[in-house]
Every structure is written in structure tokens, then in C-alpha cells.
Amino acid sequence: MAEQVKVLIIGSGPAGYTAGIYASRANLAPVIYEGNQPGGQLTQTTEIENFPGYPEGIQGPEMMEEFRRQAERFGAKIISKTVASVDFSSRPFKVVDEDGTEILAETVIISTGASAKYLGLPDEDKYRGMGVSACATCDGFFYRKKQVAVVGGGDTACEEALYLSTLAKKVYLIVRKDYLRASEVMQRRVRETENIVILFNCNTVGLFGDEVVEGAKIVEYKGTDREQIFDIDIDGFFLAIGHHPNTDIFKGQIDLDAEGYIITKAPSTRTNVEGVFAAGDCADPTYRQAISAAGTGCRAALDAERFLMEH
């Protein structure tokens, strides 16, 4: 027999756990499916210094464990499994987990997050958290007066490079093509910033360093008769080639934008399906910060509570 729940939260991380804290304090007995990466992207982050309330900073996994414990303290039921499929065609919503267990949910909060796109180099895993990052806003502070590289040629890459240029001594912008895809204003700002060096027609093929990143191996004009390989000395390597929202199982069930992000009816967290709400990075292509994700988790729980009161 299918389990019946008032609030089902799909995904953990700051948004999912915060939704769990608020929903459980409202006596809604939420059930959180953590997914295959409990705690989300923050569990791959080392020091977090920009979340209020942690003046000395805190490790990402430790912070997520505190969020988790707080949700559990108020009665949230946390299940360490993934959701395999959803059916939002009628209420209660039908959700099936990886083991085939069916859950009937009166409301659903989706907080499945997003995953940063990586180049696919083995060295990225080797040095993750030890010089490799996908968030300049999160980790740039650690590279004051050091040399860093940003990979990408779009607006995000230019924004990250400009942000890092205010902290780092030198910023390499590694661009695969012979031009920047960013808007004209962003291109101009990057070109006018003295400590940003743009490396066009370049691909990163490896990173090196004893225990942390100390440099990158670059190929210029790859696959042509002008090909040459050279090294750059860097302390940080930032990926800015985009994010992929973890929303594949919701295709055809709710409205997504062209990139796959869940469309919500601002300022609420409501989706186009009544009773289904979205919080965190899966519905946020713009900010992608732990603090903003937690805020939408709070709003989604309040939206779900109001929905249940009205229905």
C-alpha cells in the first residue's frame, strides 16, 4: 500500500532541508528524499565563509549535516534514496522511488538542485576543493593576491573573471574559441581590466600540483598545424561553462525553461501544477547561492502550508 504524505520534498541541500525545517515545525510531517548527493553541491565545497551565522566559516558537509539534524529535530522524515518517477497529472501526486515504493503526496516541493558542468578531466576530481571550483562567489576570497584561471567565454565566465580580478593578482580567462560569447558590455569590461589575460583558442588538458593546484597545461590551436602546448602557473581553477538543473524526471510533468530550470510564478514558488512547488538551484539560473536557496526553501514550505489550508 502506498505511503501517504502531506508534503513530499524531493532533494536535499539548503533548499530541501530548510523546507523540511519549516514544514515540520508547521506539523506537516514532511518526508525528504535526499537523492544521490545528500546535502547537494555544498558537500563538495570546503570552507563556507559567506553564510550568515558562521563568523569563523564552516565546512560545507558539516553545515549540511547541521541543516539535516535541524530538520530531523522537528520531525522531518529523511529517506536516503532517489526518486525514479513522478506523476503530477492528478492529486494526490504519485511518486515512485528507486526501490519501486509508491508515495501519494498532497503537495510536492522540488529541490533537486543543479550540477556544475565540468570539462571531464580526471584532474578536476583530483583537485576538487583543492583549487578546482565552480563558484567564484563562493571560493574567490581564498585566492586574494594569487593567480587564477576561469574557463568559459560567456557572460558567466566574464562575470566570474571580473569578480576574481578584484581579489586575485592575475586572472587568466581560458576561451575555447577565438571570440567571447558574452554580451558587448561584459566583453568590454573584461578587456579593460588590466589583470585579466584572455587566452583565445585554448583548451585545458590537465592540471598539476603536489596536493593543491599549482598550474594548468594548455593547448593552443588544438588539432591544427599551429598547435602548441604550454603551462600557466595558477592557484585556482574556476569552471564557468554552465550548470545543468537536475530536473530530467520532471520533463513533461511541469513547465521548464529552455535550459531545464523549473519555471515558478514569482514571487511565490508555485509551478504551473497546483500543489507542486520548486526551491533552490533547480529553479534559479541566476543566483545559485546557499543563502538564496535556503530562502526559497522557506518560501516553498510556507506556500505548501497555505495550499493545504486552502484545499
Residues recognised as catalytic: 135, 138-139
CA torsion 134→255→81→130, rounded to 10°? Answer: 0
Distance CA 144, CA 259 (A): 33
Distance CA 20, CA 288 (A): 19
3-state secondary structure of 9: strand
* E strand or H helix that includes residue 160: helix 155-165
Please name the residue ranges forming H helices in the chain: 13-25, 60-73, 122-126, 136-139, 155-165, 184-192, 290-310
Distance CA 168, CA 151 (A): 16
3-state secondary structure of 46: coil
The answer for residues whose C-beta is within 8 angstroms of residue 26's C-beta and 6 or more apart is: 301, 305
The DSSP symbol for 181 reads -
